[in-house]
Amino acid sequence: MSKTEGLSRRGFLAGASALPLAGTAFAQAPFPTRPISLIVPFAAGGSTDIVARLVGQKMGELLGQSIVIDNRAGAGGNIGSTAVARATPDGYTLLLGTISTHALNPAILKTVTFDAVKDFTPISLLAVVPNVMVVHPSFPAKTVPEVLKLLKDNPGKYSYASSGVGTPLHLSGELFKSLGGVSMNHVPYRGAGPALNDVVSGAVPIMFDNLPSSAQFIRSGQLRAIGVTTKERVSSFPDLPTIAEGGLAGYETYTWNALFGPANMPRPVVDKINTAANDSLKDANVKQRLEDVSAVIVGSTPEALGEHVKAELAKWAPIAKASGAVVE
């Protein structure tokens, strides 16, 4: 080998050694370097959208990049969830998932377009939102025992409204019927808003609703609250008993909001998003505003959210099956 050839070979090797391996370069690449899309699989204005915008804004500040809220409503959250399941797993497309997208839809959708466990990377369980049983002020019963007695004495006479077949609000009513051994007619609507309007007007006497939606009507006296659906009482209505303590042992329903990404996201990216999400929940302004809408702040590890989804699937599948709810 000539002297010139040796120098050329040594120069090439030196240059090559200075270049990082492709995998190392990817692992060490800064994140994020551009805006992140947070898909909310429901219309703007609902409790899921509220949580997404509150937490997303603060996360964007902490990450140094904007988090753009993308409302993709339809099919009970299935359209937006499917979009995230099929997205590139680089951390730039996230989902604000709920009990509907990751526990109820797999049990009630006739055609399932994603696997709630295998097709997503869990990041953090953000908050739990309680539901509440409300009635029109003219409704004769004022407590859980009185409601149960009235329904048992008048089977099939009374109806309850919900935001649609197979929604958490529908299944809250079905669980009440099942545990209480009572009969009510289900009146499904295209969303919680129209259903709530008809209960406020007296067209339908009963509804199970997200507490944030009903709170103003309860405070103004336009609706009477019978009980919250969570295991514990809520800070925004401390004098309102839970349905379980009101006489229906074992009753518990709720809505939750959690952050997911597509499956197989790099762990360093997951950890960075998780830290930003959980730190956002500790911000004084975010905490106060979430508490104002009766959301119970959680914040979790990715592993804890993964186990939560599995437990929710196991809990709700038999309830959904018993309700007979099937969505095309």
Secondary structure of 126-141 as H, E, C letters:
EEEEEEEEEECCCCCC
Task: Name the DSSP letter for residue 103.
Answer: I
CA pair distance 162, 172, nearest whole angstrom:
9
Task: Kindly state the helix (H) or strand (E) to which residue 86 belongs, with its residue range.
Answer: none
Q: What global pTM score does this model have?
A: 0.77
CA pair distance 186, 178, nearest whole angstrom:
13
Instruction: Report the CATH superfamily, name and number, of domain 130-228.
Output: Periplasmic binding protein-like II (3.40.190.10)
**Res. 136: pLDDT tops 80:** yes
pLDDT the model gives residue 308 = 96
Polymer length of the chain: 328
Give CATH for domain 33-128+254-323.
3.40.190.150
pLDDT tens string 142-161: 999 999 999 999 998 999 99
pLDDT tens string 29-43: 689 999 999 999 887
Give residues with Cβ within 8 angstroms of 108, minimum separation 6. 165, 166, 320, 325, 326, 327
Which structure tokens are listed for 275? 């830290």
CA pair distance 176, 206, nearest whole angstrom:
12
SS3 88: coil
Confidence of residue 326 (pLDDT cuts 50, 70, 90): low
Give residues with Cβ within 8 angstroms of 16, minimum separation 6. none
CA pair distance 220, 268, nearest whole angstrom:
48
Sign of the Cα pseudo-torsion (228, 231, 233, 234, in order): negative
Per DSSP bridges, beta strands 36-40 and 93-98 are: parallel
Please indicate whether the domains covering 33-128+254-323 and 130-228 agree at the CATH topology level: yes
CA of residue 163 relative to chain centroid, distance: 15
Maximum average pLDDT range among 36-45, 51-60, 159-168: 51-60
Distances, alpha carbon 184 to alpha carbons 58, 103, 174, in Å: 43, 24, 9
Half-sphere exposure of 304 (CA within 13 A, CB side): 10
Domain ranges of the chain: 33-128+254-323, 130-228
Confidence of residue 70 (pLDDT cuts 50, 70, 90): very high
CA pair distance 96, 112, nearest whole angstrom:
19
pLDDT tens string 191-247: 788 889 999 999 999 999 988 888 889 999 999 999 999 988 998 899 999 999 988
Distances, alpha carbon 135 to alpha carbons 47, 51, 172, 198, 237, in Å: 20, 26, 14, 11, 16
**Res. 13: pLDDT tops 50:** no
Measure the N-to-C terminal CA separation of the chain; round to a whole number of Å.
74
Which residue from 134, 51, 169, 130 is spatially nearest to 294, judged by alpha carbons? 130
Residue 130 has phi, psi (to 5 degrees) of -75, 150
Orientation angle between helical segments 192-201 and 211-220, nearest 10 degrees: 20
The residue type of 271 is: D
Confidence of residue 110 (pLDDT cuts 50, 70, 90): confident
CA pair distance 136, 108, nearest whole angstrom:
30
Residue 54 has phi, psi (to 5 degrees) of -65, -50
Residue 70 has phi, psi (to 5 degrees) of -120, 100
Distances, alpha carbon 150 to alpha carbons 181, 304, 322, in Å: 12, 41, 23
